Amino acid sequence: MGFASYREDIVSRLGGDQRPRHKEIRPMSRLKEFTVQNARPLPVILLADVSGSMGVDGKIQALNHAVREMLEAFQDEADLRAEIHVSVITFGGQARTHLPLGPAQSVKWSDLGAAGGTPMGAAFDLAGQMVEDRNVVSSRSYRPTVVLVSDGQPTDAWQQPLEAFLASERGGKAFRMALAIGADADHDVLKAFLADPSARVYRADEAKQIRTFFQLVTMSVSSRSRSANPNSAPAISDDGWDL
* Cα-based distances in Å from 220 to 117, 119, 217: 30, 27, 5
pLDDT confidence of 34, banded at 50, 70, 90?
very low
Quick check: helix, strand or coil at residue 131?
Answer: helix
pLDDT confidence of 37, banded at 50, 70, 90?
low
Tell me what pLDDT residue 20 has: 47
Q: Which of 141, 22, 26 shows the shortest CA–CA distance to 71?
A: 22
pLDDT tens track for 171-206:
999 999 999 999 999 999 999 999 999 999 999 999
* HEC sequence for 186-205: CHHHHHHHHCCCCCCEEEEC
Domains and CATH numbers, the chain: 40-79+100-225 (3.40.50.410)
Q: What is the pTM of this model?
A: 0.86
Tell me what pLDDT residue 6 has: 53
pLDDT confidence of 207, banded at 50, 70, 90?
confident
CA–CA distance, 121 with 80 (Å, rounded to integer): 36
Between 230 and 79, the more confident residue is 230
One DSSP character per residue, 6-28 reads HHHHHHHHTTT--S---PPPPPP
CA–CA distance, 100 with 177 (Å, rounded to integer): 20
% the chain with pLDDT above 90 = 75
CA angle 139, 142, 147 (to 5 degrees): 120
* Cα-based distances in Å from 77 to 40, 214, 223: 13, 16, 10
pLDDT tens track for 19-32:
445 544 455 545 45
Q: Which of 202, 167, 205, 214 shows the shortest CA–CA distance to 183?
A: 205
pLDDT tens track for 110-168:
999 999 999 999 999 999 999 999 999 999 999 999 999 999 999 999 999 999 999 99
Between 175 and 11, the more confident residue is 175
Q: Where are the alpha helices (DSSP H) in the chain?
A: 3-13, 30-38, 59-75, 120-132, 159-167, 169-173, 187-194, 207-226
CA–CA distance, 62 with 32 (Å, rounded to integer): 31
